[in-house]
Amino acid sequence: MMEQSLRPPKKRGVFSPVLIELTIVILFFALSTSVVVRLIAAAGSTARASDYQARAILAMENVAEQIKADPVGDGYCNECGARVFSVEFASDLTVDCLVTGDTTPEQGTLYDIELSVASLGGEVYWLDAARYVPDAEVGP
């Protein structure tokens, strides 16, 4: 009987400090996981936008080189004297082209090439180029 009175009475319904600490750790990891998932989603979105931008720049560079090789093209110009056409590279990638010729430079024509690509997200990428074509070859 004496042994029984030396033990402190047990309290029911009290959380131990270990359980409270484990609960805090679990909540911290849940919060950290949600932040990491958001970062991964944002990185994926940025990667897709960067991929589209790279494809658009390559497409515009290819079209610019083709136009520089033959700036007159089919010879069709609108009433303002400019060639306006589009080149489709993919279902989501179309390069819009505007080529104007300036005959004021002496002994040649300066072609101004303006290229643009509008993304599905509303961003517009631009590339400007120029090509001077002499009227005749200059001798030494």
Sheet strands (E) in the chain: 82-90, 93-102, 108-118, 124-134
pLDDT tens, residue order, the chain (140 aa): 555 566 666 666 666 788 889 999 999 999 999 999 999 999 999 999 899 999 999 999 999 999 998 888 777 778 777 889 999 988 889 999 999 888 777 788 888 999 999 988 888 899 999 998 887 644 34
CB 86 within 8 A of CB 77: no
pTM to 2 decimal places: 0.67
CB 132 within 8 A of CB 108: yes
